[in-house]
Amino acid sequence: KAGVTQTPRYLIKTRGQQVTLSCSPISGHRSVSWYQQTPGQGLQFLFEYFSETQRNKGNFPGRFSGRQFSNSRSEMNVSTLELGDSALYLCASSPRGGSAYEQYFGPGTRLTVT
Amino acid sequence: GDSVTQMEGPVTLSEEAFLTINCTYTATGYPSLFWYVQYPGEGLQLLLKATKADDKGSNKGFEATYRKETTSFHLEKGSVQVSDSAVYFCALTMDSGGYQKVTFGIGTKLQVIP
């Protein structure tokens, strides 16, 4: 099976712009989660989607949003970019809900805001 | 809320040394516990997991035992190799209102020198 893919891998944006990141989960996986990884804060949960519905959301401002399509592919959007949004954004998929299931991570999108 | 505590590191060891990375958690209920590993430039990948008390997860020479009485899930390996150099994340998942909630530790960087 193909793994989780994320596009683009690298992105440079300017403050105030917006950005859309894409994630394709492993075939058959219905749950997609997004994380922000920074050296200072570690891995922080953004949100989780399951069957096109947002089931869970972390403590991020409303500038961060996401959606999931019927084929389970997911996108996240960040509007009005700030310097502090520079990070590695990781997407992870899981076959279904339930705490016993591990997550499968993509390689991440490295976002740099200048 | 739920939390995971682990040392940030870096932990520097010589090849063939014994490794312990401590992980303790706080959770209301009975979480599943995971260790993920992140190699440079890559996303996270599952190393091992345990879903109930006294379970031992193992993979690639790494082991961790779910200790409910001490709320711990320490990672151990008897003889590390240079190729084990990576960042290791302890994580817990809980079922919450029909979905899973994932909490990661800060990550521990391991450097193994020849």
> Residue A67: pLDDT above 90?
yes
> Residue A99: pLDDT above 70?
no
Distance between CA atoms of residues A2 and A8, nearest Å: 17
What is the predicted pLDDT for the residue at B70? 96
Range A6-29 average pLDDT: 97
Rg (CA), chain A: 13
Distance between CA atoms of residues A68 and A49, nearest Å: 6
Q: Are A97 and A33 in contact (CB under 8 A)?
A: no
Q: What is the pLDDT along chain B (114 residues), one digit of tens a residue?
A: 889 999 888 999 999 999 999 999 999 888 999 999 999 888 899 999 999 999 999 999 999 999 999 999 999 999 999 999 999 999 998 876 666 778 899 999 999 999
Reduced to 3 states, what is the DSSP secondary structure of residue B55?
coil
Which of B64, B38, B45, B43 is closest to B53 using CA atoms? Answer: B64
A105 interface with B at CB cutoff 8 Å: yes
Q: Give percent above pLDDT 90 in chain A.
A: 73
Which of B52, B87, B94, B59 is closest to B73 using CA atoms? Answer: B52
- For residues A97 and A43, the model is more confident at A43
Lowest-confidence pick of A15-29, A38-52, B53-67: A38-52
- For residues A10 and B96, the model is more confident at A10
Lowest-confidence pick of A11-20, A26-35, B92-101: B92-101
Binned at pLDDT 50, 70 and 90, residue A98 comes out as low
Q: Which of A47, A53, A96, A99 to mutate to test the interface with B (most CBs of B within 10 A)?
A: A99
Verify whether the Cβ–Cβ distance A105 to B36 is below 8 Å.
Answer: yes
The residues, any chain, with a CB within 8 Å of residue B104's CB and separated by 6 or more, are A35, A42, A43, A45, B4, B36, B89, B90, B91
Residues in chain A, total:
114
Closest residue on chain A to B39 (Cα): A107
Partner residue facing A48 (CB), from B34, B89, B99: B99
Enumerate the residues of chain B whose CB falls inside 8 A of the CB of residue A32: none
Verify whether the Cβ–Cβ distance A98 to B44 is below 8 Å.
Answer: no
What is the predicted pLDDT for the residue at B8? 81
Verify whether the Cβ–Cβ distance A50 to B42 is below 8 Å.
Answer: no
**Residues 4 to 43 of A: which have CB under 8 A from any B CB?**
4, 31, 33, 35, 42-43
